[in-house]
């Protein structure tokens, strides 16, 4: 239990400072020259991106689920496996949706030549993708629900909503701190 709490604290800390660190790294530019020899400096992983932050928050969600849903040890393994499948499916579909919307954004930009057949194709692709995504997500939720009793299923829906709200609040706070680093320092 203590080990899990340390993991949760580490994830929350990383989520709260990651955007500010990424912005600081971007402002500093690329590193000047190779790292000093013999000092064992780890390779620079580069700035954190939204996908990394999303994965960290998903890991935090998995850690919180056992307590929040009051899962038995027997349920936990199956639940985590299926929750991760749900998260992966959701992430994959969101990325594809964002790509299609990016295409539509480029096609409808004021300076872009009008290409209505291409726009119609991308709109059709978006509709088809959303239908596939809905079916796959429904199946993933069914898989999660199979591991839970009815009360836990209800708690899971509430838990997911609360976690999504926390993620959005955390990301908003991180963006504010990245824009104004002095503002976030006085708290503690």
List the domain boundaries for the chain.
2-27+48-185
Question: What DSSP designation does 180 have?
Answer: -
CA-nearest of 71, 69, 57, 75 to 147 is 75
The Cα–Cα gap between 124 and 96 comes to 14
Low-confidence winner among 18-22, 79-83, 171-175 (lowest mean pLDDT): 18-22
Residue that is written with structure tokens 């104004």 in the block: 180
Share of the chain above pLDDT 70, in %: 69
The Cα–Cα gap between 90 and 78 comes to 18
In 56-75, which positions are buried (b, 16+ CB within 10 angstroms) versus exposed (e)?
Answer: bbbbbbebbbbebbebeeeb
For residue range 35-71, what is the model confidence (pLDDT) as tens digits? Answer: 444 444 445 455 556 677 778 888 888 889 988 999 9
pTM of the model: 0.66
- Judged against a pLDDT cut of 50, whether residue 87 lies above it is answered with yes
Residue that is written with structure tokens 């989520």 in the block: 15
Residue that is written with structure tokens 């307590």 in the block: 67
Q: What single string gives the DSSP state of each residue in 54-93?
A: HHHHHHHHHHHHHHHHT--HHHHHHHHHHHHHHHHHHHHH
What torsion, rounded to 10 degrees, do the Cα atoms 24, 6, 168, 72 define?
160
The Cα–Cα gap between 129 and 126 comes to 5
Do residues 46 and 68 touch, judged by C-beta distance below 8 A?
no
């Amino acid at each position: 239990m203590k080990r899990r709490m340390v993991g949760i604290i580490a994830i929350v800390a990383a989520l709260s400072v990651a955007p500010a660190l990424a912005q600081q790294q971007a402002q500093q530019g690329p590193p000047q020259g190779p790292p000093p020899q013999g000092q064992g400096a780890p390779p620079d992983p580069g700035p954190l991106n939204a996908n990394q932050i999303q994965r960290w928050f998903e890991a935090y969600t998995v850690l919180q689920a056992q307590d929040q849903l009051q899962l038995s040890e027997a349920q936990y393994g199956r639940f985590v496996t299926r929750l991760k499948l749900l998260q992966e499916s959701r992430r994959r579909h969101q990325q594809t949706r964002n790509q299609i919307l990016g295409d539509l954004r480029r096609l409808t930009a004021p300076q872009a030549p009008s290409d209505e057949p291409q726009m119609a194709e991308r709109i059709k692709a978006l509709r088809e993708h959303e239908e596939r995504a809905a079916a796959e997500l429904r199946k993933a939720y069914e898989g999660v629900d199979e591991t839970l009793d009815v009360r836990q299923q209800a708690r899971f829906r509430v838990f997911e909503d609360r976690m999504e709200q926390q993620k959005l609040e955390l990301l908003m706070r991180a963006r504010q701190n990245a824009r104004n680093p002095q503002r976030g320092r006085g708290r503690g």
